[in-house]
């Protein structure tokens, strides 16, 4: 028996090593062994888990589907507000402890947990929960979203989506953690560069300062100056911030084995960025910018009812497309990379493990190729976002000299 | 395979798939044209490379915008079925 156990240990170590080497290519591990255990491999589920936001940074799972299943992940703080239970703050690991242990042990296991609300009507009965759902106090985590338990359970609608109410979720999710990480990285890098300039003046840059100086000059000379014109200095801080933020977030999404951040592939993040550009365009729009929207020059007055709505639509159209472009490009890149990896497991599930092994070299080659392509896209999308923002600012501050021959 | 039969069998999903494919064809034609013209112009006037590149990307972005609307409609067909 002892020999068998040590054999198992060696096999486990080998499997972990294979998983770790696989995960060098992409951010997190899919349900590796599911093909061997009779469960079908669900590529859509795997890709969804990666693309969507989550309440933890998940690296991989050991002993998948077995009683001693271990999730290797970083828990993140969950911050919830609901009218019934008020504010609640606890670590997301509390949900996963609740699965194996009884609810009474929660507060011991969670590193930091708010007191379980006293007026909880009924503790959720774990047997009532659908598979994949985790309960903690009155909250149920199901498919990366938190719901309020109703009579201790989760009501699923006909389409498989829960009908329960959701609390106001202000948690530090995976995306928010990724944004914080980007903040910290950028702050440290730029502070070091700024100190170097302070210390030795404007001389030849050293070390990482080289990269930053090249990129900053690129944004200033290639993006801001030609697109905005003489008033470019006012917008340079925003353009630099947005460029470096998007670029860092895009690169974070490509670094494997750190949990697979998909920050700029989240439409809420890109919406916020595009909203900043929109607000700055509107706030800095001069008289000529607004008059072009509401009193298009050189156009017969009869066409005003037709043209003004189109101009107003165009005003909102620009940030909308800005939002969609970044979101769609980054999400599509992640999906393609993950699909190539998923091919291994799809073949493995269809034709046995040998087919999976045979597929993996080709799959890995394509994955590496796509990763390199995404490196280009990461830079290009940051550039395009900044360039288009600069062009919109340029349109807003441009001084028109109207004449009869003015052509649009 | 008969297109009508395909649409009848796959319903909304098939339509959305065809729509996404058409959007991709449009993007390919549009961006391909932009790239072709940009390369020709750069070959003629290599000194104006920077101006041409910036304008090329803006034009490509506008084409992409139109394509995204097509793809979003396809997604809406699937999600709001």
| Cβ–Cβ below 8 Å for B61 and A226 | no
Angle CA A54–A58–A62, to nearest 5: 140
> pLDDT-derived band of residue A280, with 50, 70 and 90 as boundaries?
very high
| C-alpha span between A395 and A224 (Å, rounded) | 12
> What is the distance in angstroms between the Cα of B41 and the nearest Cα belonging to chain A?
19
Interval A115-136 mean pLDDT: 59
Q: Give me the phi and psi of A172, to 5 degrees please.
A: -80, 95
CA A104 to chain centre: 34
Please identify which residue in the block is written with the tokens 């395009």. A384
For residue A349, is it left (φ>0), alpha (ψ between -120 and 50) or beta? alpha
> pLDDT-derived band of residue A11, with 50, 70 and 90 as boundaries?
low
Contacts of A203 (CB under 8 A, 6+ apart): none
Using the Cβ of A384 and the Cβ atoms of chain B, whether some distance falls under 8 Å is answered with: yes
Using the Cβ of A239 and the Cβ atoms of chain B, whether some distance falls under 8 Å is answered with: no
| C-alpha span between A160 and A125 (Å, rounded) | 20
Q: Is A397 helix (H, G, I), strand (E, B) or coil?
A: helix
Query: A with B: how many residue pairs have Cβ under 8 Å apart?
Result: 29
Find the CB nearest A325 among B51, B54, B68. B68
Asked whether residue A111 carries a pLDDT value surpassing 70, the answer given is no
Interval A351-370 mean pLDDT: 91
Using the Cβ of B49 and the Cβ atoms of chain A, whether some distance falls under 8 Å is answered with: no
Helix (H) or strand (E) holding A298: none
Q: Is A128 helix (H, G, I), strand (E, B) or coil?
A: helix
A90 near A77, Cβ under 8 Å?
yes
Asked whether residue A24 carries a pLDDT value surpassing 50, the answer given is no
* Chain A residue nearest residue B66, CA to CA: A321
- Which own/partner contact pairs does A365-369 have at CB distance under 8 Å and 24+ positions apart? A366/A340, A367/A25, A367/A26, A367/A337, A367/A340, A367/A341, A368/A25
Using the Cβ of B61 and the Cβ atoms of chain A, whether some distance falls under 8 Å is answered with: yes
Residue A370 tokens read as 């796509």
Find the CB nearest A388 among B51, B61, B71. B61
Q: Between these two residues, A249 and A143, which has the higher pLDDT value?
A: A249
| Cβ–Cβ below 8 Å for B61 and A383 | no
Interval A68-82 mean pLDDT: 84
Using the Cβ of B5 and the Cβ atoms of chain A, whether some distance falls under 8 Å is answered with: no
pLDDT digits 0-9 by tens, A180-190: 999 999 999 99
Lowest pLDDT segment from A189-198, A275-284, A292-301: A292-301
pLDDT at A243: 96
B67 near B23, Cβ under 8 Å?
yes
A151 near A138, Cβ under 8 Å?
no
A81 near A266, Cβ under 8 Å?
no
| C-alpha span between A71 and A57 (Å, rounded) | 10
CA A29 to chain centre: 17
pLDDT at A39: 52
> pLDDT-derived band of residue A214, with 50, 70 and 90 as boundaries?
very high
Angle CA A267–A257–A170, to nearest 5: 40
| C-alpha span between A346 and A76 (Å, rounded) | 31
DSSP string computed for A339-371:
HHHHHHHHHHHHH-HHHHHHHHHHHHHHHHHHH
**Alpha carbons within 13 A on the beta-carbon side of A47:** 19
> What is the distance in angstroms between the Cα of B47 and the nearest Cα belonging to chain A?
15
Measured over the CA atoms of residue A383, residue A385, residue A389 and residue A392, the dihedral's sign is positive
Interval A5-20 mean pLDDT: 52
| Cβ–Cβ below 8 Å for A222 and B64 | no
> What is the distance in angstroms between the Cα of A123 and the nearest Cα belonging to chain B?
34
Using the Cβ of B78 and the Cβ atoms of chain A, whether some distance falls under 8 Å is answered with: no
Asked whether residue A12 carries a pLDDT value surpassing 70, the answer given is no
Q: Around Cβ B45, how many Cβ atoms within 10 Å? A: 11
| Cβ–Cβ below 8 Å for A325 and B51 | no
Mean pLDDT of chain B: 85
> pLDDT-derived band of residue A69, with 50, 70 and 90 as boundaries?
confident
| C-alpha span between A278 and A122 (Å, rounded) | 47
Mean pLDDT of chain A: 80
Using the Cβ of B7 and the Cβ atoms of chain A, whether some distance falls under 8 Å is answered with: no
Classify strands A134-136 and A70-75 as parallel, antiparallel or unpaired.
unpaired
pLDDT at A27: 39
Q: Report pTM.
A: 0.78
Using the Cβ of B46 and the Cβ atoms of chain A, whether some distance falls under 8 Å is answered with: no
> What is the distance in angstroms between the Cα of A217 and the nearest Cα belonging to chain B?
14
Using the Cβ of A316 and the Cβ atoms of chain B, whether some distance falls under 8 Å is answered with: no
Fill in the DSSP letter of residue A278.
H
Interval A252-257 mean pLDDT: 87
| Cβ–Cβ below 8 Å for B72 and A222 | no
pLDDT at B8: 75
Q: Which of A48, A220, A313, A325 to mutate to test the interface with B (most CBs of B within 10 A)?
A: A325
A239 near A151, Cβ under 8 Å?
no
Residue A235 tokens read as 């917008």
> What is the distance in angstroms between the Cα of A380 and the nearest Cα belonging to chain B?
9
| C-alpha span between A333 and A369 (Å, rounded) | 12
Asked whether residue A126 carries a pLDDT value surpassing 80, the answer given is no
Asked whether residue A276 carries a pLDDT value surpassing 90, the answer given is yes
Residues of B in contact with A323 (CB under 8 A): none
Interval B35-47 mean pLDDT: 94
Helix (H) or strand (E) holding A59: strand A56-62
Helix (H) or strand (E) holding A91: strand A86-91
């Amino acid at each position: 028996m002892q020999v068998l156990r040590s054999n198992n240990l060696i096999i486990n170590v080998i499997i972990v090593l294979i998983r770790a080497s696989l995960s060098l290519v992409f951010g997190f591990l899919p349900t590796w062994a599911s093909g061997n255990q009779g469960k079908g491999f669900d590529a859509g589920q795997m890709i969804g888990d990666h693309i969507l936001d989550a309440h933890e940074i998940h690296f991989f799972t050991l002993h998948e589907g077995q009683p001693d299943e271990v999730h290797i992940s970083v828990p993140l703080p969950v911050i919830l507000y609901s009218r019934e239970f008020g504010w609640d703050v606890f670590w997301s690991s509390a949900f996963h402890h609740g699965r194996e242990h009884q609810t009474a042990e929660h507060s011991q296991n969670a590193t930091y947990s708010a007191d379980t609300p006293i007026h909880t009507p009924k503790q959720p009965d774990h047997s009532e929960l659908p598979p994949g759902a985790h309960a903690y106090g009155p909250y149920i985590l199901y498919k990366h979203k938190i719901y309020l338990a109703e009579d201790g359970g989760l009501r699923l609608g006909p389409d498989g989506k829960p009908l329960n109410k959701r609390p106001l979720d202000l948690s530090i999710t995976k995306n928010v953690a990724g944004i914080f990480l980007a903040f910290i990285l950028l702050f440290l890098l730029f502070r070091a560069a700024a100190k170097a300039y302070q210390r030795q003046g404007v001389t030849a840059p050293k070390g990482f300062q080289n990269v930053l100086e090249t990129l900053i000059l690129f944004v200033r000379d290639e993006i801001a100056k030609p697109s905005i014109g003489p008033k470019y200095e006012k917008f340079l801080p925003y353009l630099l911030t947005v460029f470096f933020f998007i670029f860092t977030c895009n690169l974070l999404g490509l670094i494997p084995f750190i949990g697979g951040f998909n920050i700029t592939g989240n439409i809420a993040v890109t919406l916020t960025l595009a909203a900043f550009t929109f607000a700055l365009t509107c706030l800095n729009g001069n008289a000529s910018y607004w008059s072009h929207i509401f009193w298009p020059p050189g156009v017969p007055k009869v066409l005003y009812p037709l043209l003004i709505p189109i101009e107003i639509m165009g005003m909102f159209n620009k940030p909308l497309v800005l939002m969609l472009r970044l979101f769609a490009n980054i999400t599509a890149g992640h999906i393609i990379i993950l699909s190539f990896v998923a091919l291994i497991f799809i073949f493995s599930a269809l034709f046995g493990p040998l087919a999976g092994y045979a597929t993996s070299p080709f799959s890995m080659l394509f994955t590496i190729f796509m990763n390199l392509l995404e490196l280009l896209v990461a830079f290009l999308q940051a550039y395009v976002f900044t360039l288009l923002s600069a062009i919109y600012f340029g349109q807003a501050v441009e001084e028109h000299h109207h004449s009869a021959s003015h052509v649009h | 395979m008969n297109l009508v039969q395909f649409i009848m069998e796959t319903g909304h999903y098939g339509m959305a798939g065809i729509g996404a494919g058409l959007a991709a064809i449009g993007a390919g034609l549009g961006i391909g044209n932009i790239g072709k013209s940009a390369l020709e112009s750069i070959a003629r006037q290599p000194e104006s490379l920077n101006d041409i590149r910036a304008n090329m990307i803006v034009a490509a972005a506008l084409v992409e915008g139109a394509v995204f609307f097509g793809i979003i409609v396809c997604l809406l067909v699937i999600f709001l079925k």
